[in-house]
Chain A
Amino acid sequence: MILYGTVKTALGALRRNVLRTMLTTLGIVIGVAAVISMMEIGNGATIAVKRTMASIGANTVVVVPGAATTGGVNFGAGSVMTLTPQDADAIVRECPAISAVAPIVRARTQVVYGNRNWVPTYIYGTTPSFLRVREWTDLAEGEPFSEHDVLNSGKVCLVGQTVVRELFGGRSPLGKEVRIRSVSFKVVGVLRKKGANMMGLDQDDILLAPWTTVKYRVVATSLSSSNQSNSAAAGNLYPCTQLNLYPIPSTAEQADTPQPIRFTTVDQILTAARSSGQIPAAMEQVGELLRERHRLASGSPNDFNVRDMTEITKAMSSTTEMITKLLLCVAMISLVVGGVGIMNIMLVSVTERTREIGLRMAVGAEPGDILRQFLTEAVVLCLLGGLTGIALGRLSSYLISSLLHWPTATSLAAVVAAVVVSATVGMLFGFYPAFKASRLNPIEALRYE
């Protein structure tokens, strides 16, 4: 009730000099509008940066098989094949922090088209979701192969730009057939150019095919041994005959790393966390799930490794943090400038209304009443400015996104912060003038000319 009366009085006092009220508020309006539009543009930039980072694999979590140890001799990562395609299916089904998963079967061998041949850095047997994991879904040409092709070991493939250049001399390879170790693959799509990765390896030097095809028709090694790329005998026309459904590990290996029999294995599993923030959760969920699926007793070491792209993630978080801090600085400066404007005008207002203050004191206003009245005026001024600023800020960020096509993202936090900060600015910068007003001597104030 008292608050209502004070706010009403404050509004009345502000209405008495509309032009000055508007000019005073302008500082806060511009400050808050700047904060809002900066925050929204900054948010947009952050999201854009995150998306870019995601496309170079920041959200990727890689699962690789563990190491085999025989008689104290460690054979290194990947020397025992422990991951199965079913593991991949289970990960995407049961880990909520994972958005997509792709099993990978690697091969390194010659690809032939016509009279040209080339050995791509990567020949990956995988599923269509590989493209989603690597943020590579929009192809330069053609269509990706389907889940159906994976089930049927379809002889289709996608090729990267480097492969197109080397084998096809830059002409469109769509519908052409390439041979990989005597198996012919129809090119159904061409990947967009991605360039080199952070190690300098050419990511466009790639050929993607259904993993079943690569596994059974191209590589076709025994299942639990490693090094598929060199174990398949060159020139074997029917590699499928080598398929051994029931691999028999050596007794020593069996004793050292006991494990259930796996019918089919993959070289690694590539997964994508839903967001960079969920990477730790994703790694933990994948680890738990795989330990359970591989029936590892508690205390025994993992027969797999889960890795994230720590370096990229760090770069990303420091970049976005930088953007946010920078914008915060700019926002602070503009709000402080606005606040100083408020203080300036409130001081002028106190001087100008000295007689009014004297009169109010004469009719019984206590110093506290005067303090409250001027403080309320400052806060009301700032809040009005804040609200106008929010509207103006939203408008300008809308204009920026629609006219300049910069990415923006609405930010509720910015709106809340703007309101809170403008009220605080009102309090801080309104206090001194209000205090000065409340300390006036009524006799002198009444006599003031």
Chain B
Amino acid sequence: MELIELRDIRKTYFLGEVAVPVLKGVSLRVARGELLALMGASGSGKSTLMNLLGCLDRPTAGEYWLDGREISGLSAKERARLRNRTIGFVFQSFNLLPRTSALENVLMPLCYTREPLSEQVKRRRAVELLERVGLADRIDHQQSQLSGGEQQRVAIARALVNRPSILLADEPTGNLDSQTSQEILQMFQRLNVEEGITILLVTHDPGVAASAQRTIRMKDGLLAGIGEVQPAGTP
């Protein structure tokens, strides 16, 4: 069973009377446990595809099957719950809450979970995740006291706190130096192998894409080439 299946997804924005088609029929299958990269020039529609995959937006036409469920017609509220349960986001600019400790940042998505978890369970889970990403000694540090790499690791811990099956990373290394980028990419690979989390990296850096098992290229709202699944290579 595929985790993600897109069938002829179209997205058209309307600027007044003018219709701007951004996605012009994208079909894609992603198996559970894949680590894949989505590449493309700016304006190719990869951000729009990313938003659709992340259930932040709805396609104009087409079907989106996530975990055996057709979800293109869900309401905003249902999509919010879905995001909370099954999707984790990592952003280029980290998006940590200012003047808030690393631990509280990681705990934040748990405010909106519908699972009945006690404060202790939530806290333990967050601390474990911070230890996993190697920030055991930075738990009470605030956003401004963390380096870029550390901030991104906090963001990854935050994305994982609800135990999602998919991690969407939008240019996760765009604001980091090459040394830290490598560390972050290795962390993605480890999570992919050890936890079996499906990871989608959106990037336009071929070096980053090389760390994925396969690469999807986008051009003018269409998939230009769907690469074959390769064993995770060293970049």
By a beta-carbon cutoff of 8 Å, the part of chain A in contact with chain B is 5, 9, 12, 15-17, 355-356, 358-369, 442-443, 446
State whether the Cβ of B173 lies closer than 8 Å to any Cβ in chain A: no
State whether the Cβ of B76 lies closer than 8 Å to any Cβ in chain A: yes
**Residues of chain B with a CB closer than 8 A to A368's CB:** 77
Structural contact, A367 and B51, CB atoms closer than 8 A: no
Structural contact, A363 and B112, CB atoms closer than 8 A: yes
B35 to chain A, nearest CB (A): 21
Given contacts A12-B104, A363-B158, A442-B56, contact A356 B97 (CB under 8 A): yes
Given contacts A16-B99, A16-B100, A356-B97, contact A366 B111 (CB under 8 A): no
Counting residue pairs across A and B whose Cβ atoms lie within 8 Å, the total is: 66
State whether the Cβ of B136 lies closer than 8 Å to any Cβ in chain A: no
Given contacts A364-B113, A366-B112, A443-B51, contact A355 B77 (CB under 8 A): no
Structural contact, A367 and B77, CB atoms closer than 8 A: yes
A358 to B83, CA, bound (A): 13
Structural contact, B100 and A12, CB atoms closer than 8 A: yes
Structural contact, B56 and A363, CB atoms closer than 8 A: no
A364 to B88, CA, bound (A): 10
**Residues of chain B with a CB closer than 8 A to A364's CB:** 80-81, 83-85, 109, 112-113, 162
Structural contact, A363 and B89, CB atoms closer than 8 A: yes
A364 to B109, CA, bound (A): 7
Least CB separation from B109: chain A residue:
A363
**Interchain Cβ contacts under 8 Å between A and B, 14 examples:** A16-B97, A16-B98, A16-B99, A355-B95, A356-B95, A362-B54, A363-B83, A363-B162, A365-B84, A366-B77, A367-B80, A369-B112, A443-B57, A446-B95
Q: How large is the interface on B (under 10, 10 to 19, 20 to 34, 35 or more residues)?
A: 20 to 34
A112 to B112, CA, bound (A): 95
Partner of B76 from A15, A367, A446 at Cβ < 8 Å: A367
Partner of B84 from A15, A17, A363 at Cβ < 8 Å: A363
Given contacts A360-B108, A360-B112, A446-B95, contact A365 B80 (CB under 8 A): yes
Structural contact, A363 and B108, CB atoms closer than 8 A: yes
A157 to B91, CA, bound (A): 98
A359 to B99, CA, bound (A): 16
**Residues of chain B with a CB closer than 8 A to A16's CB:** 97-100
A17 to B100, CA, bound (A): 11
Least CB separation from A16: chain B residue:
B99
A107 to B57, CA, bound (A): 99
Convert B37-71 into 0s and 1s, putting 1 for each residue whose CB lies closer than 8 angstroms to a CB of A. 00000000000000100101100000000000000
**Residues of chain A with a CB closer than 8 A to B83's CB:** 362-364
**Residues of chain A with a CB closer than 8 A to B113's CB:** 364
A443 to B104, CA, bound (A): 23
Least CB separation from B158: chain A residue:
A363
Convert B91-118 into 0s and 1s, putting 1 for each residue whose CB lies closer than 8 angstroms to a CB of A. 1000101111000100011011100000
**Residues of chain B with a CB closer than 8 A to A366's CB:** 76-77, 80-81, 112
**Residues of chain B with a CB closer than 8 A to A365's CB:** 80, 84, 111-112
A177 to chain B, nearest CB (A): 89
Shortest 9 CB-CB distances between A and B: which pairs?
A364-B84, A363-B109, A16-B99, A366-B80, A364-B112, A365-B112, A364-B83, A359-B95, A362-B89
A359 to B106, CA, bound (A): 12
* Extra 9 A-B pairs, beta carbons < 8 Å, given A363-B84, A367-B80, A443-B51: A12-B104, A359-B91, A362-B56, A363-B108, A363-B158, A365-B80, A369-B111, A443-B56, A443-B57
B13 to chain A, nearest CB (A): 11
Structural contact, A5 and B111, CB atoms closer than 8 A: yes
A439 to chain B, nearest CB (A): 10
A5 to B113, CA, bound (A): 12
A359 to B143, CA, bound (A): 15
A128 to B1, CA, bound (A): 104
**Residues of chain A with a CB closer than 8 A to B91's CB:** 359, 446
A12 to B159, CA, bound (A): 21
A311 to B99, CA, bound (A): 66
**Residues of chain B with a CB closer than 8 A to A9's CB:** 111
A1 to chain B, nearest CB (A): 9
Q: Which of A356, A366, A367 neighbours the largest number of chain B CB atoms within 10 Å of its CB?
A: A366
B121 to chain A, nearest CB (A): 14
B81 to chain A, nearest CB (A): 6
A369 to B83, CA, bound (A): 14
**Residues of chain B with a CB closer than 8 A to A367's CB:** 76-77, 80
Least CB separation from B99: chain A residue:
A16
Q: Which of A9, A365, A368 neighbours the largest number of chain B CB atoms within 10 Å of its CB?
A: A365
A12 to B100, CA, bound (A): 8
B155 to chain A, nearest CB (A): 10
Least CB separation from A445: chain B residue:
B56
A442 to B170, CA, bound (A): 15
Q: Give residues of chain B (145-202) contacting chain A, Cβ–Cβ below 8 Å.
A: 158-159, 162
Q: Which of B84, B91, B100, B111 neighbours the largest number of chain A CB atoms within 10 Å of its CB?
A: B111
Q: Which of A360, A361, A363, A442 neighbours the largest number of chain B CB atoms within 10 Å of its CB?
A: A363
Q: Which of B76, B85, B88 neighbours the largest number of chain A CB atoms within 10 Å of its CB?
A: B76
**Residues of chain A with a CB closer than 8 A to B84's CB:** 363-365
Structural contact, A361 and B80, CB atoms closer than 8 A: yes
A418 to chain B, nearest CB (A): 31
A392 to chain B, nearest CB (A): 28
**Residues of chain A with a CB closer than 8 A to B162's CB:** 363-364
**Residues of chain B with a CB closer than 8 A to A5's CB:** 111
Q: Which of B80, B98, B99 neighbours the largest number of chain A CB atoms within 10 Å of its CB?
A: B80
